[in-house]
Structure 1
């Protein structure tokens, strides 16, 4: 086992490109120094249909912490990971593509040690709970071990083990035989679990495409790679047996088959988890973790309560409500947890996180959720709120402020200083939020004190003009083609774990057109992404 794990550690630290046989078409990543953590590019590119369909560069990625957690949970059949395992997992930081978790860098030595600890602890925990839940046959029988390697390995590696390397099943079986002879059968199975959970084929999004079937610059992914992309997009976890079976029989070889599977997956309760993960990252709701406010209405743990409220609101909109972008931005109801209804000035529901109706004159969808308002604090909130709308909702990134920037009054920031170019793009938007304090309470009297203004302005080609309330801004955004475009881009970033590039322009346009035709239906947006050519293929240059 020591020799086996040492070899795996070497492979992990060297994983900057291909996993497996280079002739198999498993795509290379960019390794250290790629664009995974850098600021996102501007989106000022257009589709050139005459140039032929292309797709941007897709680097080799590791599972994010959340993908790891959810995938292991499904593999081992546990409801939740224990506190020590969660703590170890937190020691392996995720990279980022804009606000989305995506890790493309090779792990350093400490990361690899953490992966080893995770694999050992998870395998030990599985043994302590009883291996019968994972292995129903006689564990002292080599045929049982082979069956486990093939069955568990297919789910862990998200494809048949033998398809990766014809000798890999025998290699794992030899490990079982060695450990079984030296110790006992249960220890041998524990060792197998450890080795498989440490394998690059588990830890990485390894994808296989068919160069022989390439059309132009695109090579189609095999069914197992499509199954993985689908499951991590919709469920934020690895594919189950049914999805792998669909890949095996060729049901994911065309857009129609992928659409059928995607729709079925959206009807599965696990889709709620994937929907929460996207919105938590897109709306930066994790900023409320551990949040503290010096206010009589603030309770211990309220930051987590606010985040949960926002995520339950999203869940309801998508799965019980109209499911549209418009409802996400304009709905005048929410699901406040304990102590939060008071922030709205309404009576709480009969149960925590029950639905309450809100005043449509002051409350509009996600924009007026306390989870959004509270994350920006009370110091220059108009700057941060305006920047949020610009970057997260309109995909209009602004450059970082210069070092050692000094605090300036509103007029100096927006009119006379060198900073006015950027601040004119965000501060006027933020002024429209002035009636909301740093807990998200609606206090219009505060908006008329001092230098703070209560009328906002959004200078955007498709949403030009002033707005007198956040609900008015929300209405303007909800009917804007710019926000449809940005939400499409944000979901494509999340789905692919990379920046959207000029090569993606035509693909994004087609997805956006389908989204618009659906009336802004969020589920239909995911179906459009899943069935798109770019989602089901890789660029030929990455495979040669």
Structure 2
């Protein structure tokens, strides 16, 4: 069965890789056809190109890897409409020619634009309407890692995440759910087979666990800030001493948590700037249990010189000494929480010598099977103004958790796993009639394949179940049936059937339900979607609109926030581009995680509150906790919990001033106006600059901030004409964000130089600072709205957009404009559009 399943999947993958056929137009017999767009090229277009463009876009220079020199007549030019589409976009937005070259006259822009719009493809897209345009075709899509985990959760009720161990999914057009790039390898097939075995066992019998309670895991926080991502049993570094992690518990049971904290208050602070030690290993050794450091040092200095032995302390002296140590620092609350709910507290008193030999804190808690968030922290430290002030001279935190050990399970529940009834929808354990078994198998296959199971498919699997039942239980037979289903191409791939009719056709209701659920939930349809599909009601526009609203308000829509939001904004880079901790002393892993959470909460608010997508540009609110608010310099926010904060728009508003975005668009040691400008052009406006030419020298940045400012260095860099073409677009945008350092903190000086945030775009528009940049983006919001729509549509369809999709994008943005570009309007218009509801007849899957 294993090799048959492998061959089926590999064959399907090969079919999916076959490209669709090309078609050509016919001409009337006996007549020659003049290619559209040839008239007027030599007279109106070529002179403009020769005067303004060919100096850089020649075969020799190829600025932006583009040469226009070969287009000497209209016939040749009309064969490359994709090139002229780019030219049209550049000249109509004023990006070309670049400064300091003179801009094209309005007459030249009009002449070139008018000719380009007559070209085949471009002319069809411009003249077409959403009612008549081709809806396109989507390749059969393999479930990516997130979709696999979510689907087995909703199909079988399991909480394990086996796909986390699968190979990383390839990305296309900025997303990892694009059918054309989601290939399947022999290694991945082996992972599927192993995962099917583990998942089926957990679904029917529950996850395995030891008969006797024992140590499950020892969680150990990182001892210093570094460039690595915490993984395995290691937890992120926190200068405030917090231990936090997500851990998976195998069964409903009691679990014991044992953690030991370190109290190193009063050990001395660093002298001078910077970190005192490269690692905790270089720190001074800890004192012996109960030792009085000054007294121990005095005894060491007097030893061997005839000093009289020190007499033992009396009880009163010992009590006085302990009281002095206890009173050296105020008591501070330590709290242990699970999923945000406090389950245990303790007061930590005195300096590092008080109660030094304390044991582990221990608490036992009943938990359900699945993932739970664990956190041990000192909540009051969330309000500390300077976390680096909590670091001692030896490199250790004043207060920290040394480790946490999780033991169990104690008194595990004998009840079936939570998803048992998702599978065994009839009968009772040990008593399943043949009719009930057939019902279980048919229901399993229908839900797993996301369509009604065929009778032949059900009968084939029933034969396997019957064979197993001859020598084993019904439960074991169903477990093997689940394994079979989980390695079937019908489960692993989202397959849409071709229609016998020519041209475009409507998707079936079940196919539409799958498109909708994987778009908004990254998972399979739920019972309500299945029921509407069975009733053939889902294609009703009113029903479809109602379902979009329902699904976006469901907690499962957090998958859209995370999977779309993180990839659109490049948030997944935050663990790979950490600021240098030696230069940015307030930075640690916990603060970076807070920055990421701020941005995800902001996206969630835009979505769940049905706000205008223009809030991404300059929305005057955000979500902060005490540490992040203090890092930003915003007052009135205390504690570890995130809360909504209204902003005045002076220093912070919109996502471009989020610490997460400012960090990922910088180098580890300095800001980069180039990277930040490129990020805005690419991620917000959909106008990414071309790659730099070959052999361009790197920016000289060794003395930036001391001998020269960043602006001066970049101006020298732009003196090269081949560099100026792109830098004139990127650098002004990046300069506007120079009030934020490479770690996202506000500043007024860059080294020895005042920050200059002014900039002028190639089209002559000038602005200053982040506020001026956002005003400019808001004034020209059409570019952002269109790009956001294209990105969300690409994610929802699972394919890249083509020229033929332009009428649909135009229609969606027009519809959304009537509702102030609210998020729900954009999503609903995408879901109602022909590319989402329909499919073109093609040559193969």
**TM-score range normalised by the length of the shorter chain:** 0.7 to 0.9
Q: Which has the higher helix share?
A: 1
Contact kept, 8 Å, 1:511 with 1:528, in 2: the verdict is yes
Give the equivalent residue in structure 2 for 1:23: none
- Alpha-carbon offset, residue 483 of structure 1: 0.9
Give the equivalent residue in structure 2 for 1:98: 174
Give the equivalent residue in structure 1 for 2:829: 528
Give the equivalent residue in structure 2 for 1:251: 537
Match of 1:287 among 573, 577, 585: 573
- Alpha-carbon offset, residue 312 of structure 1: 0.6
What is the SS of the residue equivalent to 1:356? strand
The reply to whether residue 345 of structure 1 matches residue 639 of structure 2 is no
Contact kept, 8 Å, 2:831 with 2:837, in 1: the verdict is yes
* Distance in 1 of aligned mates of 2:813 and 2:770: 25
- Farther off after superposition, 376-385 or 400-409: 400-409
The reply to whether residue 430 of structure 1 matches residue 734 of structure 2 is yes
Could you report, residue by residue, the CA deviation over 1:83-138 in whole angstroms, capped at 9, with x for unpaired residues?
Answer: xx25423x242332224542434301001111112211111222332363331424
Match of 1:170 among 459, 463, 469: 459
Match of 1:49 among 123, 128, 133: 128
- Alpha-carbon offset, residue 255 of structure 1: 2.9
* Distance in 1 of aligned mates of 2:752 and 2:179: 45
- Alpha-carbon offset, residue 31 of structure 1: 7.0
* Compared CA separation, residues 430 and 92, structure 1 to 2 (3 A): closer
**Alignment map for 1:371-410 (pairs within 5 Å):** 371-378=660-667, 379=670, 381-402=672-693, 405-408=696-699, 409-410=713-714
**Alignment map for 1:58-97 (pairs within 5 Å):** 58-78=138-158, 80-82=159-161, 85-89=162-166, 91-97=167-173
Give the equivalent residue in structure 1 for 2:449: 157
- Alpha-carbon offset, residue 48 of structure 1: 2.4
Report the RMSD for the aligned CA atoms in angstroms. 2.7
* Distance in 2 of aligned mates of 1:103 and 1:540: 17
Structure 2: tracts of 5 or more residues without a match: 21-81, 90-121, 207-415, 700-712
Give the equivalent residue in structure 2 for 1:506: 807
Give the equivalent residue in structure 2 for 1:455: 758
- In the comparison of the two structures, how many residue pairs are matched? 510
Structure 1: tracts of 5 or more residues without a match: 19-27, 33-39
Q: Structure 2-normalised TM-score?
A: 0.57
The reply to whether residue 114 of structure 1 matches residue 191 of structure 2 is yes
Could you report, residue by residue, the CA deviation over 1:181-201 in whole angstroms, capped at 9, with x for unpaired residues?
Answer: 243322211111111111111
Give the equivalent residue in structure 1 for 2:516: 230
What is the SS of the residue equivalent to 2:691? coil
- Alpha-carbon offset, residue 256 of structure 1: 3.3
Give the equivalent residue in structure 2 for 1:268: 554
Give the equivalent residue in structure 2 for 1:475: 775
Could you report, residue by residue, the CA deviation over 1:6-50 in whole angstroms, capped at 9, with x for unpaired residues?
Answer: 2111111222366xxxxxxxxx56479xxxxxxx99775543227
Contact kept, 8 Å, 1:434 with 1:447, in 2: the verdict is no
* Distance in 2 of aligned mates of 1:375 and 1:70: 28
What is the SS of the residue equivalent to 1:340? helix
* Compared CA separation, residues 159 and 299, structure 1 to 2 (3 A): same
Contact kept, 8 Å, 1:210 with 1:222, in 2: the verdict is no
* Compared CA separation, residues 458 and 324, structure 1 to 2 (3 A): farther
The reply to whether residue 146 of structure 1 matches residue 438 of structure 2 is yes
Contact kept, 8 Å, 2:513 with 2:530, in 1: the verdict is yes
- Alpha-carbon offset, residue 145 of structure 1: 2.6
- Alpha-carbon offset, residue 73 of structure 1: 1.5
* Compared CA separation, residues 435 and 69, structure 1 to 2 (3 A): same
* Distance in 2 of aligned mates of 1:331 and 1:81: 37
Give the equivalent residue in structure 1 for 2:791: 490
Give the equivalent residue in structure 1 for 2:645: 356
